[in-house]
Amino acid sequence: MNFLEILQGQLSDDVLGHISNEIGAEKEQTASAANSIFTTLVGGLAGHTSNESGISSLTSMLDADHDGSVLDDLMGMVTGVVQGGGDQQQAMPNALNGASILNTILGDRQEAAAQHISQSSGLSIGQIMKLMPILAPIVMGVIGRARNQGGIGVSDIASILMGTTQNAQQGGMGDLIGSVLGGVFGGGQPQQQQQQPAQQQPQTGTDMIGNILGNIFGGK
């Protein structure tokens, strides 16, 4: 199952509608921008996990804050509140702070990403900058759920991110990834993919992980 399709599948019509109202955009434009943002964040994470230090960093992030439970109430996440016992509402925990996730994944490349996505989606840079921290916890939530419910190791997740990024480059997202993440993926090919093209994830492993992801997220 395509990892970007899994991410896009988390945005129900209601959630997408609320997000669109939040940033002042049409749903179609928001969906288009979300696709580009998801691609950018996956590419950033692929670069971030291109070495053992980055894999360790992602492991720490997942252990601390991201077990996938955010996906159980995405409307609560995007509105800023979750339902407690009875009718009680409480603020979403700071651990899900999208700005913090963006700082880790993109660092000082956030504005460059927003500018590029703005040009392709028709939304303003300001709207994109509002949208990015809303979507960032969804990326981490999907990864966390794949790890916790599917038993997929962080190294395998890193391979999925690399493969997804490579496919996105070949599928028309090369300009976005190259412009925003060119310093990470120098020659247009992910570094980890260059170093271990076959050994990193054999085709049988890809099929197995794809089946696991399909079982977890297939109903979305």
pLDDT on residue 18: 94
pLDDT on residue 168: 84
Distance separating alpha carbons of residues 181 and 112, to the nearest angstrom: 9
- Within the chain, which residues score under 50 in pLDDT? 88, 93-95, 183-205, 220
Q: Give the residue among 99, 146, 116 at the shortest CA–CA distance from 39.
A: 116
How do the residues of the chain divide into helix, strand and coil, expressed in percent and rounded to 5?
75, 5, 20
Q: State which residues form the domain around 63.
A: 3-217
Distance separating alpha carbons of residues 212 and 206, to the nearest angstrom: 10
pLDDT on residue 151: 80
14-54 pLDDT, tens digit per residue, is 999 999 999 999 999 999 999 999 999 999 999 889 889 98
pTM of the model: 0.81
**Domains: count for the chain:** 1
Radius of gyration of the chain (CA): 17
- Give Cα 134 to chain centroid, integer Å: 11
pLDDT on residue 210: 65
Q: Which residues have C-beta within 8 Å of that of residue 101, sequence separation ≥ 6?
A: 61, 133, 136, 137, 139, 140
